[in-house]
Amino acid sequence: MRKVKLLLVVVLAALLLGLLPCGYDTVSVPSTGAVALPRVGFNGMVVKAARVTNIGTVLIYFRVDGGAPTTSTGDTIYPGGGANLESPAEVSQFQAIAASGTGSLAVTYFQ
């Protein structure tokens, strides 16, 4: 059921933004330091947007303004929740950290 919901969110986001999915990653998010997305380009093109979904069981904090989140500050993605990164700048400046332990994000990239 979770995969069906994720697929529906991705398709809806693509339709609303007029973008096409172009890649997918699963990103491990530790609580020991912020991580960025592994891709800001795909097949030589700049990624225009992304959808990040918390597929783990821990709270994840993130920022898209170039600053680093901490284990207690930043915008939040609750387990099962997600966030849309709506510009190349947000994709390239995205950083995330788990509140505790290790979290996991599913990321779909759009062009």
Q: How many domains does the chain have?
A: 1
Range(s) of the domain holding residue 22? 2-110
pLDDT along the chain (111 residues), means of 10: 63 66 91 89 79 97 96 96 95 96 95 87
Q: Is the pTM here over 0.85, yes or no? A: no
pLDDT (0 to 100) of residue 62: 98
- CATH code: domain of residue 84: 2.60.120.10
Compute the distance between CA of residue 5 and CA of residue 11 in angstroms, rounded to an integer: 10
CA angle 99, 80, 19 (to 5 degrees): 110
pLDDT (0 to 100) of residue 100: 96
Tens digits of per-residue pLDDT, 76-99? 999 999 999 999 999 999 999 999
